[in-house]
Amino acid sequence: MGQPIGRYAMNTAMNKVLMAAVLVVLLVTGCGRPKGVVRSAFFWGVDLTATVNRCAPAEVKWGDRGTGSGGGASNEVQTHWHKDVNADFQCGAEAVDTFLLALEADLQKAVESYGGKVAKPQNITAKPSVGGFGFDYEIGKTRGEVRGSVRRRNENEGRWTDRYPYHLDLRVEEAVVR
């Protein structure tokens, strides 16, 4: 004799049917695809603090330093990310130019080493405020920009302006189209 179909057996069979139906709906509508964090290999792979340290001339003396990052989705199709490094430092005026050129070259090479293309390079020089650089890049569906600048701090910015007269801002931003 067959086993009687009890309440438990019916619920288990019904649960399997419902779970299969839900799975089919999710797969058909695209909800089953992972919508995880998507960033370029360049964004993940480049340590901005290490890059700054590597590119800084030997004579640079550091003051306050900080890093930050964040991101979010503006809609279901595009996600934005950024990370940055800020630092106060001292060195000779010629070393600042050398520092900026080294940072720009190093970051452009890094983009290319991850299979990206550098577009729209900009050399932003506005002495006596010192200067900076910027460029856009593309890696697959990822569009990004790198901006770096050094400015001379003024006496209204606190007690360390004489000791660390320069301020570095370095930022990488990405928008990934899914």
Domain carrying residue 15: 1-33
Q: Compute the average pLDDT of residues 154-168.
A: 74
pLDDT at 171: 95
pLDDT in tens, 57-76: 999 999 988 888 887 766 66
One domain, residues 50 and 25: no
Percent of the chain with pLDDT over 90: 40
- Start-to-end CA distance of the chain, whole Å, equals 57
Q: In this structure, what token pair is assigned to residue 41?
A: 């290999």
Question: Does pLDDT of 127 surpass 60?
Answer: no
pLDDT in tens, 21-51: 555 544 444 443 334 445 678 888 899 999 9
One domain, residues 86 and 22: no
One domain, residues 25 and 87: no
One domain, residues 29 and 113: no
Classify residue 152 as exposed, middle or buried by CB count within 10 Å of its CB (0-12, 13-18, 19+). Answer: middle
| Domain count for the chain | 2
pTM to 2 decimal places: 0.71
One domain, residues 127 and 72: yes
Give the burial string for 95-118 (b: 16+ CB within 10 Å, else e): bbbebbebbbeebbebbeebebeb
